[in-house]
Amino acid sequence: MERSLFSEEHEMFRSSFRSFLDREVVPRNEEFDREGIVGRDVWESAGASGFLAFAVPEAYGGAGARDFRYNQVVAEEMCAADTFASVTGITLHNDVTLPYFLDYTNDEQKARWLPGMVTGELITAVAMTEPGIGSDLASISTTARRDGDSYVLNGAKTFITNGINSDLVIVAAKTDPTLKHKGISLLVVERGMEGFDRGRNLDKIGLHAQDTAEMFFHDVRVPVENRLGNEGEGFLYLVKNLPQERLSIASAAISHARAALDWTIDYCGERSAFGQPIGRFQASKFKLAEMATEIAVGQVFADRCVLALNDGTLTAEDAAMAKWWLTELQKRTMDSCVQLFGGYGYMSEYPISRAYRDARVTTIYGGTTEIMKEVIGRSLGF
Provide the annotated active-site residues: 245
Which alpha helices (H) appear in 92-139, and where do they start and end? 98-103, 107-119
DSSP string, 50-73: T-SSTTS-GGGTS-----HHHHHH
Tell me how far apart the terminal alpha carbons of the chain are, to the nearest angstrom.
Answer: 37
**What type of residue is 375?**
V
- The contacts of residue 173 (CB under 8 Å, 6+ apart) are 140, 142, 143, 144, 151, 153, 155, 184, 185, 186, 187, 234
Between helices 68-80 and 282-311, what is the axis angle to 10°? 150
Q: Is residue 155 within 8 Å of 110, Cβ to Cβ?
A: no
Q: What DSSP designation does 179 have?
A: S
- Mapped onto helix, strand or coil, the DSSP state of residue 141 is coil
Q: Whole-angstrom Cα distance, residue 152 to residue 142?
A: 11
Q: Whole-angstrom Cα distance, residue 287 to residue 264?
A: 11
The CA–CA distances, whole Å, from 97 to 128, 152, 161, 229, 333 equal 12, 23, 11, 14, 29
Q: Whole-angstrom Cα distance, residue 13 to residue 299?
A: 20
Q: Whole-angstrom Cα distance, residue 160 to residue 177?
A: 23
Q: Is residue 321 within 8 Å of 372, Cβ to Cβ?
A: yes
Q: What DSSP designation does 225 have?
A: G
Q: Whole-angstrom Cα distance, residue 358 to residue 87?
A: 12
Residues in the chain: 382
Handedness of CA 280, 286, 291, 295 (dihedral sign): positive
